[in-house]
Structure 1
Amino acid sequence: MSRRPLVIAHDYLTQRGGAEKVVLALTRGFPDAPVQTTLYAPADTYPEFADVEVRTTGLNRWRWLRHHHRFALPLLARSVSRTTIDADVTLVSSSAWAHGFRTTGRKIVYCYSPARWLYQPERYLGKRPALAQRALLRLLGPGLRRWDRRQARGADAYIAISGAVQQRIRDAYGIEAEVVHAPHSYSASGEQQRPGGLPGSLAEGGFALCISRLLPYKNVDAVVDAFRELGRPLVVVGSGPEEASLRARASGDITFLQRLSDAEMRWLYARCDAVIAASYEDFGLTPIEAAVFGKPAVALRWGGFLDTIVEGVTGTYFDEPTPAAIAPAVRQSGSRAWDADAIRAHAETFSEATFLRRISGVIARVTGSAPGSAGAGPSGGLR
């Protein structure tokens, strides 16, 4: 197979999340670039990847791993280290593994965070991690940290998704990374469809919206407990290992949905009162997506949310992920008259065009010329 001008690399395409949305934005900016990943489960990630050339490692032969990628942890470093990407530029989208692919040309890493489970295990695993999880990290952690730092220092350039991640890259790797914020991918004018499974009482709106993978560090349990105490409707969109425990503690005013289409998500954003986010987030994409529809955010004063929310203009903060802190912030947001136009204007500063232009600028600096510029048509020029 001939050498490609540019290849996009990503950890695994087995879920629907903000990182996968960034990869889709990159495929739109560089439409001739294939995507190299470890595992690909088409039914579990965004359907738009069906139109992309996706390459996988040998791990993808194992169907069970495609649907339970966390169990592949002991195998992933070896898998990516043994895979060579033959391209002038490999543009890596990574929060753990993809920066370890061997490359024949330049390597540029767009980093969502150095691996949380390596550098922030208590936060990633939650307050009561399983004995097997603790044992596995104790066994594999030291060697994987050495591997991780070695792979990071082999990159030609590092890009951080937020100021918080920029500092984390500096602490973990000693690398100075440029900050390029991720884009939103929604248009308020797109098709809308009411999600199936939504109670009829919410057909006209009047609910808060929490969009998150159901993992311990996302703190969805604190949001659920806060709304159980408030007695207000909450719609939670997402899936993950915490789902059963969250459903068990939820009141009747709390609805759980998952695997929604963009049209269904637009319907929810357009009708919610606000989005709620209590997670330790590296960037905080949900408040920007809500802002496209003129809706405010109520979020934890931490990490990436500091980059994406203008306090008092596009949202309000709470200072710790506890029901006692979340509930009054929700009440405060509900009592305020928000300026929807100002919120929408803020969202425009996180456009896909701006993101792709800045990524192309990094490629140009590293290579001397962009190898297939973002937004390029047949002539290869920037639009």
Structure 2
Amino acid sequence: MSEQPRPNFDVAESLPRQPTARATPATLTGRSVALVHEWFGATGGSEQVFRHIADLVPQGERFVLWKDRDASEPGLRESWLSRTPLRHSKAAALPLMPLVWRTLSRRRFDVVISSSHAFAHTVKLGDASSTTHLSYVHAPARYIWSPDFDGRGANPLLTLPRRVLQGIDVRLSTHVHAYAANSREVQARIRRYWHRDAVVINPPVDVEWFAAAPTADRAQARDYLLGVGRWIPYKNFDLVIAVAAAAGMPLVLAGSGPQEAQLRRLAERATVPVTFEVRPGRERLRRLYWGARALLFPVHEDFGIIPVEAQACGTPVVGLRRGGLLETVVDGSTGFLVDSTDPADHAAGVRRIGELAADRVAAHAVAFSAARFAAEMTTWIDHECR
């Protein structure tokens, strides 16, 4: 197959949104397949996507750089990097990742499918003439390519290392036959940074499970605001607290992360009650969605599975008019999108939540189902591997 970029076709627009059955790529029958992911954490959205890809390709051998200690995922083959102290520091390990992906295994596969948000798309497990390399991209590494909205790479001292890694990223990915992006936002970045086309296949969300809340939960008062996610700087949970205060409504923060102590200090000074739910289980998270007046999501996200989960529960979203929210939230129908990071502007959206119909919010989320993802991924894989 040619290594030149293929013409783009948007799977999300060309297929039925609610297929009735999970399909399996016919072209992979009898072929050896490697499935590749970055590091494997316990609860991340990219890990959920990787699991769904693995479900589609059960014969695939699964490779990761390492898996976190609390990730109880069986059948993952870890790289040699997992046996070093670098597994505990993604930032320190980053410069070595391209080398690790090129020395991952001596085995050669007919098809390689990577799930990439750093360097996994550079993995090479066979020559381009005999191996089809496909890559599903959650984002080109934000701390390398997009330090303007992810501060992890914004230090001026990192400018030169960033440029070096950008060059490596492009040079080591010329063998990739085709890309799929998780959103139009990421599709545009792939074109801008790597000069490649990509189809758009939105991630799978378990919308049926989140929508099927017990009757008691459907009757909840929805008398608090909710923030969900990893407590790290670019997620803007400090702004979430400020929005709740401006709206004069109690807030629940669900998640975990290194900013917990800082956020608790902010919460102590807030003018509204702020409750912390640390690492809530899936059932508890669903209950939190169902009980919330609105999900606050003032973050520039690549796609954002959390806002879709909330909408599946009939819970509107108030967030930034940027990134994935432009695809997952219908402004004025399933939530309100705000151009600024002024808490007062977001609070104004919260006050308008009563204008929205919960059943319409929930119906919109169905478009992002796992069955839809399976059908679109199957079509893409079969198209590229035929």
Give the structure-2-normalised TM-score: 0.82
Letter of the aligned partner of 2:161 in structure 1?
Answer: L
User: 1:258-303 CA distances to partner (integer Å, 9 max, x unpaired)?
Assistant: 3222112111122212211111111122221112111111111001
**Unaligned ranges ≥5, structure 2:** 1-29
Letter of the aligned partner of 1:245 in structure 2?
Answer: Q
Choose from 194, 202, 205 the match for 1:181: 202
| Cα separation, partners in 2 of 1:228 and 1:122, compared to 1, 3 Å | same
Choose from 118, 121, 135 the match for 2:144: 118
User: 1:129-168 CA distances to partner (integer Å, 9 max, x unpaired)?
Assistant: 6xxx543x23421221111112333211011111111111
Q: Which aligned runs of 4 or more in structure 1 are off by greater than 4 angstroms?
A: 189-192
1:355 lines up with 2:355 in the alignment: no
**Unaligned ranges ≥5, structure 1:** 195-202, 369-383
SS in 2 for 1:188: helix
SS in 1 for 2:287: helix
Q: 5 Å matches for 1:172-211?
A: 172-186=193-207, 187-188=209-210, 205-211=222-228
Mapped contact 1:225–1:249 kept (Cα < 8 A): no
CA distance in 2 between partners of 1:56 and 1:190 (Å): 36
How far the C-alpha of 1:214 sits from its partner, in A, is 2.0
User: 1:327-359 CA distances to partner (integer Å, 9 max, x unpaired)?
Assistant: 2122222x32x3222222211111111111111
SS in 1 for 2:372: helix
CA distance in 1 between partners of 2:331 and 2:244 (Å): 22
Aligned to 1:217: 234
Letter of the aligned partner of 1:256 in structure 2?
Answer: F
Q: 5 Å matches for 1:1-383?
A: 5-43=32-70, 45=71, 47=72, 49-50=73-74, 53-62=75-84, 64-84=85-105, 86-104=108-126, 105-125=131-151, 134-135=156-157, 137-186=158-207, 187-188=209-210, 205-250=222-267, 251=270, 253-333=273-353, 335-336=354-355, 338-368=356-386
SS in 2 for 1:273: strand
How far the C-alpha of 1:205 sits from its partner, in A, is 4.8
| Cα separation, partners in 2 of 1:90 and 1:317, compared to 1, 3 Å | same
SS in 1 for 2:111: strand
Aligned to 1:376: none
Letter of the aligned partner of 1:232 in structure 2?
Answer: M
Mapped contact 2:226–2:296 kept (Cα < 8 A): yes
CA distance in 1 between partners of 2:168 and 2:262 (Å): 35
Letter of the aligned partner of 1:14 in structure 2?
Answer: G
User: 1:218-277 CA distances to partner (integer Å, 9 max, x unpaired)?
Assistant: 222111122233332111222233322222112361122232221121111222122111
Aligned-CA RMSD value = 2.4
User: 1:285-325 CA distances to partner (integer Å, 9 max, x unpaired)?
Assistant: 22211121111111110011111111222111111233232
Mapped contact 2:39–2:66 kept (Cα < 8 A): yes
Mapped contact 2:211–2:312 kept (Cα < 8 A): no
User: 1:18-57 CA distances to partner (integer Å, 9 max, x unpaired)?
Assistant: 11111122222223323211010141x4x4x23xx10111
Q: Which has the higher contact order (CA 8 A, sep 6+)?
A: 2
SS in 1 for 2:65: coil
User: 1:69-123 CA distances to partner (integer Å, 9 max, x unpaired)?
Assistant: 3332232222222214632211111111211211222111111111111111132
Aligned to 2:6: none
Mapped contact 1:14–1:66 kept (Cα < 8 A): no
CA distance in 1 between partners of 2:31 and 2:231 (Å): 37
Give the structure-1-normalised TM-score: 0.83
Mapped contact 1:279–1:321 kept (Cα < 8 A): no
Mapped contact 2:247–2:348 kept (Cα < 8 A): no
| Cα separation, partners in 2 of 1:189 and 1:312, compared to 1, 3 Å | closer
How far the C-alpha of 1:15 sits from its partner, in A, is 4.6
Q: How many residues align?
A: 344
How far the C-alpha of 1:191 sits from its partner, in A, is 7.8
User: 1:7-26 CA distances to partner (integer Å, 9 max, x unpaired)?
Assistant: 22111113522111111222
CA distance in 2 between partners of 1:164 and 1:189 (Å): 27
Mapped contact 1:191–1:263 kept (Cα < 8 A): no
CA distance in 1 between partners of 2:103 and 2:223 (Å): 52
Letter of the aligned partner of 2:149 in structure 1?
Answer: R
